[in-house]
Amino acid sequence: MNKVISKAFTNLLLGTRFIILLKLVFKNGIGLNPKYILRFLSLVPISLLSEIFILVEKIKFNRKIKQTRIEKPPVIIIGHWRSGTTFLHQLILQDNQFTAPTVVQVIAPEHFLFSTKYYIPILKVLLPEKRPMDEVEMAPLGPMEDEWAFIRMGSETPLVKIFFPLAKIKTLFDIQEFIPQGKKLVQWKKNMLTLLKKITLLTQKQIILKNPFHTPRILLLAEVLPGTRFIHIVRHPYKIVPSAIYTWNIMSEENAFKSGWKKPTIDEAARIVDEFWRSVNENKKRLKKNEFAEVKYEDLEADPVEELKRIYKELNLEFSNQFETSVIQFMEEKKNYKKNVFNLTMEEKNIIEKKLSHYFKAYNYEIQ
């Protein structure tokens, strides 16, 4: 029971304002199992507090936010889950010309300009030391994916399926779901710009985002934020597929508000990798020069400095000596980092190879 209580207070919807939390529950339903009820109730105190903080921030900062201009379009790291997006993000954040959304900012996207000083002590108590799916450290001011801000701001996102699984759904993600439509698209664009303006107002730095959910959104993001640069990272499918399944399963198990989660199959996970890859390869053709770069995780890990120099050159970014020194130091500090290991059967490898034969060929990945 203690384990259930502990996990309830670290739910990934922590900080969601009360009205948004209610909308999510009313729209998607909630299970009657005590663990689901406890997860919901554990979020209520801070969600009610969020409503107050939002009012205060609007009074204090609304005009400044509206007046803020994003002078330098963001750099966005895209790629399938578990392809190395976090690693690349950590490396580029050694460059002090960049900033990124923090954990506290995506937990409190509508009021962090005012409430960060109040939230940090709370998060230091509630946050786990490391992410549940790997050894990556968690900290209130550490970097975080902006998708977690969007779900709290009421934007349409496939992320909702992690929290409110539906047994009738045959597939985890459909690539069409990543692009909101109609009024939902208008709201999504507004929330994106608001979040970036607030981070810009606070830091006065160029923003680097890391978000697998943005992978099919290249053209949408290029429209909303002209001049945005994209870095696409790829990794051997034998590594991506089982690791992504493991991640999705853990996230839903520890955060869902109802039963019905269907563990993705190898075939389904490989299909999503395929759809993401095809989407990137089609959409990158419509970007301008210096707006797209690509890197293999294996190459980045083997020689991060040279790969980063190449990426910066292709994107027309300034690569400094300070950045190089910081990258070398970061790699030294992380040299004992332990990766998850997944053992695939020959049958599972055959499924991945069949579904992603073009992917293997495009990046010269070996078939075992």
Whether residue 368 lies inside any domain: the answer is: no
The mean pLDDT of 185-213, rounded to a whole number, is: 96
Query: What DSSP letter does each residue of 160-182 carry, written as one string?
Result: HHHHS--TT-S-S--GGGGS--H
Whether residue 185 lies inside any domain: the answer is: yes
**Res. 1: pLDDT tops 50:** no
**Res. 154: pLDDT tops 70:** yes
Whether residue 282 lies inside any domain: the answer is: yes
Q: Residue 46 and residue 51: Cα distance in Å, rounded?
A: 9
| 8 close to 35: Cβ distance less than 8 angstroms | yes
Q: In this structure, how many other beta carbons lie within 10 angstroms of the beta carbon of residue 227? A: 12
- Eight-class DSSP state of 368: -
Q: Residue 98 and residue 232: Cα distance in Å, rounded?
A: 18
pLDDT tens digits along 122-131 = 888 887 777 7
- The reported pLDDT for the residue numbered 8 is 44
Give the residue with greater pLDDT, 134 vs 229: 229
Whether residue 367 lies inside any domain: the answer is: no
Q: Residue 323 and residue 299: Cα distance in Å, rounded?
A: 19
Specify the CATH number for the domain of residue 145. 3.40.50.300
Q: Which amino acid belongs to residue 273? A: V
Least confident range of 174-178, 187-191, 311-315: 174-178
Per DSSP, the three-state class of 171 is: coil
Q: Within 13 Å of residue 327, how many CA atoms lie on the same side as its CB?
A: 23
Query: What DSSP letter does each residue of 240-274 carry, written as one string?
Result: HHHHHHHHHHHHHHHH-SSS---PPPHHHHHHHHH
Whether residue 339 lies inside any domain: the answer is: yes
Whether residue 206 lies inside any domain: the answer is: yes
Place of tokens 């968690």: 138
Q: In this structure, how many other beta carbons lie within 10 angstroms of the beta carbon of residue 176? A: 10
Per-residue confidence band for 9, with pLDDT thresholds at 50, 70 and 90: very low
Place of tokens 């690791």: 243
Q: Residue 21 and residue 47: Cα distance in Å, rounded?
A: 8
Note down the domain range covering 138. 2-362
Q: Residue 351 and residue 238: Cα distance in Å, rounded?
A: 11
Question: How many domains is the chain partitioned into structurally?
Answer: 1
Measured on CA atoms in the order 48, 28, 261, 151, is the torsion positive or negative?
A: negative
Whether residue 141 lies inside any domain: the answer is: yes
Per-residue confidence band for 171, with pLDDT thresholds at 50, 70 and 90: low
Place of tokens 């970007």: 287
| 245 close to 264: Cβ distance less than 8 angstroms | yes
Query: Whole-prediction pTM value?
Result: 0.93
Q: Residue 148 and residue 109: Cα distance in Å, rounded?
A: 9
pLDDT tens digits along 209-228 = 999 999 999 999 999 999 99
pLDDT tens digits along 28-84 = 999 989 999 999 999 999 999 999 999 999 999 999 999 999 999 999 999 999 999
The mean pLDDT of 12-40, rounded to a whole number, is: 92
